[in-house]
Structure 1
Amino acid sequence: MDTPRTAVDRLLVDGSGNRPRADARRNVERLVAAARTAVAEVGVEVSAHDIARRAGVGVGTFYRRVPSREALLEAVLEDVLAEVMELADRALADPDPWHGFTTFATAYVGLRTESCGIGEALGGACGEVFEQTLADLRGRVRALVARAQEAGVLRADVAWQDVPFLLAAVATTGRTVGLTAGERQWERHLRVVLDGLRTPDPVPLPGSPPS
Structure 2
Amino acid sequence: MTAVDRLLARESGPTPRADARRNLERLVTAAREAVSEVGVGVTAQEVAQRAGVGKGTFYRRVPSLEVLLRAVLEEVLDEAIAVADRALENPDPWQGFTEFASAYVHLRKESCGVNEALGGACDVDRCLADIRERLRELVCRAQENGSLRPDTTWQDVAFMLAGVATDDHTIGLSAAPDQWQRTLRIVLDGLAARR
TM-score, length basis structure 1: 0.80
| Aligned match of 1:69 | 65
Q: Which of 178, 186, 192 is the equivalent residue of 1:198?
A: 192
Does residue 169 of the first structure (1) align with residue 163 of the second (2)? yes
| Residues 162-196 of structure 1: per-residue CA shift (max 9 Å, x gap) | 11210111134444445443443222211211121
| Aligned match of 2:83 | 87
By how many angstroms is 1:125 displaced?
5.6
By how many angstroms is 1:121 displaced?
5.4
By how many angstroms is 1:24 displaced?
2.2
How many corresponding residue pairs?
193
**Partners in 2 of 1:172 and 1:67 — Cα distance?**
32
By how many angstroms is 1:70 displaced?
1.1
Question: After superposition, where does 1:1-211 map in structure 2 within 5 Å?
Answer: 5-13=1-9, 14-16=11-13, 18-112=14-108, 116-120=109-113, 126-200=120-194
Q: Which residue identity is paired with 1:79?
A: E
Q: Which has the larger Rg?
A: 1
Q: Which residue identity is paired with 1:15?
A: S
State the identity %: 59
| Aligned match of 1:204 | none
| Aligned match of 1:207 | none
CA contact under 8 A between 1:44 and 1:117: conserved in structure 2? no
CA contact under 8 A between 2:81 and 2:131: conserved in structure 1? yes
**Partners in 2 of 1:44 and 1:174 — Cα distance?**
15
Gap runs ≥5 in structure 1: 202-211
Where relative contact order (Cα < 8 A, 6+ residues apart) is larger, the structure is: 2
| Aligned match of 1:209 | none
Tell me which protein shows more helix as a share of its residues: 2
**Partners in 1 of 2:57 and 2:3 — Cα distance?**
17
By how many angstroms is 1:85 displaced?
1.0
Gap runs ≥5 in structure 2: none
| Residues 72-104 of structure 1: per-residue CA shift (max 9 Å, x gap) | 111112222221111100111111111111111
Q: Which residue identity is paired with 2:49?
A: R
**Partners in 2 of 1:127 and 1:163 — Cα distance?**
26
CA contact under 8 A between 1:31 and 1:52: conserved in structure 2? yes
